[in-house]
């Protein structure tokens, strides 16, 4: 970690309302107020108190594999660049030249030896240090290059997932993740013994508040209705697997706003029970792997991993590990959110297995898939409906009466809104800190 500069609070910037918002009144144990979706002043304060004051996911190590590899992204509404330097250390840099403020990187991903501002040519190293400026003689001896590097954020990594924060005094990442770490470890088993690799992503926006998507990751209640078309596209065996709303799964609060929704308990650990029968939909893949010369143990490990995990993990506030992909949210405005779906494959794994993985991803999460467009329609309708009766409340009380202590926190049935309550408890904690 290098230089961390303080971020001016929204109130200090004069953009917060003159009268403080009574956040404690807007988040109740069983409901949240509709203004959380619609009030621009709340959105402004969220950037400061949620996105600039917590650990925020910025990428996976496979996206910056070599010295010079970079990925441009966002933390809240601030552009940043995740980059690996010549010593293979990771940096997250504010994407803003220290001279006149222009962005120094406009590419989404790539490889470079340096970052050069296109406006006046100030050049920066991969660690953000200012290396040179054109025609420096005009500055005399006043140019303090060591103080004018790109602003560098604090960076930490767990299980290949990279997070950054503006806060120098925030708890270590491992402490922030807490019990979520063991679920991240389980999630990474879906590479079937190979390293996890982000194969690509697609992005889309929906006209709704970011918290509507945050809620969705651990919302099984909507699945059989919103994803009816997806279920109708499955064979009978797969359809039974995805008929989990009345099953033995559960949702558990993991602390700090994180939560996990276990839909298919037998698929929590993809390296367990490898001697179980291979599902019919993967029989062709299994035979193809055998034909390539892989032994039966490896075939079963890969086949079991291809379908992804049986749980969704919500890492508050901006990333979900969902079956076989990362889903990242970026708040654009109070009523607009950008979503990234990053498909995961086995780095160096059999091509036929990765092809199966990508086809499964496209089937549900792809832009022409059966699932994501239906989710987007539902999210848009929530925001549209929020315009009616703005003094009404959003109910998140499903499963509350039956909630019991779990391994790491309160646990409800698989369709309980336990995950939403966990996120809003953390949201309230952030907004009132």
Exposure pattern of 221-242 as b/e (b: 16+ CB <10 Å)?
A: bebbebbeebbeebeeebeebb
Tens digits of residue pLDDT in 223-254: 989 998 888 888 888 888 888 888 999 999 99
Residue 5 has pLDDT above 60, yes or no: no
Contact 307, 363 (CB under 8 A): no
Q: Helices 296-306 and 283-291 meet at what angle, rounded to 10?
A: 140
Contact 191, 305 (CB under 8 A): yes
Mean pLDDT, range 133-156, rounded to an integer: 96
Q: Write out the two tokens for 311.
A: 């749980």
Contact 80, 128 (CB under 8 A): no
Q: What share of the chain is helix, strand, coil (3-state, %, to 5)?
A: 30, 25, 45
The answer for residues whose C-beta is within 8 angstroms of residue 427's C-beta and 6 or more apart is 27, 50, 211, 257, 317
Question: Residue 324 has what pLDDT?
Answer: 85
Contact 44, 55 (CB under 8 A): no
Question: Residue 371 has what pLDDT?
Answer: 85
Question: Residue 15 has what pLDDT?
Answer: 52
Look at the pTM and tell me if it is higher than 0.75. yes
* Vertex 376: Cα angle to 373 and 377 (nearest 5): 90
Tens digits of residue pLDDT in 334-390: 999 999 999 999 999 999 999 999 999 988 888 778 888 899 999 999 999 999 988
Closest by alpha carbon to 115, among 125, 106, 107, 100? 125
Question: Residue 16 has what pLDDT?
Answer: 53
Residue 110 has pLDDT above 60, yes or no: yes
More reliable by pLDDT, 224 or 207 = 207
Question: Residue 62 has what pLDDT?
Answer: 97
More reliable by pLDDT, 236 or 7 = 236
Q: How confident is the model at residue 18 (pLDDT cuts 50, 70, 90)?
A: low
Residue with tokens 């992503």: 201
Residue 294 has pLDDT above 80, yes or no: yes
* Vertex 349: Cα angle to 346 and 354 (nearest 5): 60
Closest by alpha carbon to 67, among 86, 81, 82? 86
Q: From its phi and psi, is residue 2 left (phi > 0), alpha (psi between -120 and 50) or beta?
A: beta
More reliable by pLDDT, 297 or 16 = 297
Q: Write out the two tokens for 203.
A: 């992005």
Q: Which residues pair with 413 in a beta bridge?
A: 250
Residue 29 has pLDDT above 50, yes or no: yes
Helix (H, G, I), strand (E, B) or coil at 98: coil
pLDDT above 90: percentage of residues in the chain: 84
Cα separation, 218 vs 320, in Å, equals: 9
Q: How confident is the model at residue 2 (pLDDT cuts 50, 70, 90)?
A: very low
Closest by alpha carbon to 40, among 212, 205, 209, 214? 209
Tens digits of residue pLDDT in 52-83: 999 999 999 999 999 999 999 999 999 999 99
Side-chain half-sphere exposure of 373, counting CA atoms within 13 A: 10
Tens digits of residue pLDDT in 262-282: 999 999 999 999 999 999 999
Residue 8 has pLDDT above 90, yes or no: no
Q: Indicate the average pLDDT of the chain.
A: 93
CA dihedral (11, 16, 19, 23) positive or negative: negative
Residue 17 has pLDDT above 70, yes or no: no
Side-chain half-sphere exposure of 303, counting CA atoms within 13 A: 25
Q: Which domains does the chain have, with CATH numbers?
A: 56-165 (2.102.10.10), 179-432 (3.90.380.10)
Exposure pattern of 363-399 as b/e (b: 16+ CB <10 Å)?
A: ebbbeebbbbebbbebbeebbeebeeeeeeebebebb
Residue 99 has pLDDT above 90, yes or no: yes
């Amino acid at each position: 970690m290098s230089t961390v500069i303080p971020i001016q609070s929204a109130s200090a910037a004069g953009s917060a309302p003159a009268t403080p918002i009574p956040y404690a009144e807007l988040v109740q144990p069983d409901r949240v107020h509709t203004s959380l979706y619609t009030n621009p002043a709340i959105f402004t304060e969220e950037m400061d108190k949620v996105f600039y004051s917590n650990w925020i996911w910025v990428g996976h190590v496979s996206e910056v594999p070599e010295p010079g590899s970079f990925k441009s992204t966002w933390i809240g509404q601030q552009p940043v660049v995740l980059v690996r330097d010549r010593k293979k250390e990771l940096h997250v840099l504010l994407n803003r030249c220290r001279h006149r403020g222009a962005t120094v990187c406009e590419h989404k991903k790539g490889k470079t030896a340096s970052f050069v501002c296109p406006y006046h040519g100030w050049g920066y190293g991969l660690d953000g240090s200012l290396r040179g400026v054109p025609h420096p003689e005009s500055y005399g001896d006043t140019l303090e290059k060591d103080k004018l590097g790109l602003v560098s954020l604090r960076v930490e990594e767990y299980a290949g997932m990279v997070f950054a924060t503006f806060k120098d005094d925030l708890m270590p990442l491992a402490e922030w993740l807490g019990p979520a770490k063991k679920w991240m470890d389980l999630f990474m088993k879906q590479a079937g013994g190979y390293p996890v690799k982000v194969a690509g992503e697609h992005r889309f926006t929906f006209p709704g508040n970011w918290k509507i998507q945050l809620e969705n990751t651990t919302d099984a209640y909507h699945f059989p209705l919103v994803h009816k078309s997806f279920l109708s596209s499955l064979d009978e065996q797969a359809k039974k697997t995805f008929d989990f709303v009345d099953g033995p799964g559960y949702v558990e609060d993991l602390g700090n706003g994180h939560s996990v929704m276990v839909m298919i308990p037998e698929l929590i650990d993809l390296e367990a029970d490898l001697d179980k029968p291979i599902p019919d939909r993967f029989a062709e893949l299994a035979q193809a792997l055998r034909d390539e010369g892989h032994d039966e143990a490896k075939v079963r490990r890969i086949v079991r991993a291809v379908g992804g995990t049986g749980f969704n993990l919500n890492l508050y506030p901006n990333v979900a590990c969902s079956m076989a992909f990362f889903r990242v949210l970026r708040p654009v405005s109070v009523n607009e959110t950008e979503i990234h779906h990053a498909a995961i494959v086995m780095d160096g794994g059999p091509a036929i297995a990765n092809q199966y993985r990508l086809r499964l991803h496209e089937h549900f999460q792809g832009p022409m898939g059966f699932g994501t467009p239906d989710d987007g329609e539902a999210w848009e309708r929530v925001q549209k409906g929020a315009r009616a009766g703005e003094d009404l409340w959003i109910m998140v009380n499903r499963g509350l009466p039956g909630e019991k202590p779990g391994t790491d926190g309160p646990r409800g049935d698989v369709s309980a809104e336990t995950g939403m309550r966990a996120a809003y408890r953390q949201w309230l904690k952030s907004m009132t800190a």
